[in-house]
Amino acid sequence: DVKVTQSSRYLVKRTGEKVFLECVQDMDHENMFWYRQDPGLGLRLIYFSYDVKMKEKGDIPEGYSVSREKKERFSLILESASTNQTSMYLCASSASGGLLVLFFGSGTQLSVL
């Protein structure tokens, strides 16, 4: 069974902290994505990666960075967490070529106090 695993279901952090959200997939997928989901705003793309060491900005990259040192792992970094980054964060992966069908993790609900 295909799996995308996010390291934490719930996280509570303080304003100004550096936050790491980890995502691992076991499907040997080339593509990985980070979205955030907020009520009334839907899913918004933060960053994505089509290969190891490669990253591309999505629609809302400000305040975030990513790291992809290995094919199966894609990390989202909040350099200095702020309250407006309180959200549900969803990691996804997909195979390369053809149709972009996403497999999502269960999400990390991050609260920044």
Partner 1 sequence: SQKIEQNSEALNIQEGKTATLTCNYTNYSPAYLQWYRQDPGRGPVFLLLIRENEKEKRKERLKVTFDTTLKQSLFHITASQPADSATYLCALLNQGGKLIFGQGTELSVKP
Site string (46-75) toward partner 1, x via CB under 8 A:
--x---------xx----------------
Q: Residue 33 has which token pair?
A: 């994505």
Q: How many residues interact with partner 1 (rule CB under 8 A)?
A: 23
Q: What are phi and psi of 86, to 5 degrees?
A: -65, 120
The answer to whether 36 and 47 are in contact (CB under 8 A) is no
The answer to whether 53 and 69 are in contact (CB under 8 A) is yes
What's the closest the beta carbon of residue 36 comes to partner 1, in angstroms? 11
Considering only the stretches 14-22, 66-74, 76-84, 99-107, report the one whose residues sit in contact with partner 1 under the rule CB under 8 A.
99-107
104 part of the interface to partner 1, by CB under 8 A: yes
* β-pairing verdict for 56-57 and 4-6: unpaired
The answer to whether 112 and 13 are in contact (CB under 8 A) is yes
- Kindly list the residues in this chain that would bind partner 1 in the complex (CB under 8 A): 4, 33, 35, 40-43, 45, 48, 58-59, 90, 92, 99-107, 109
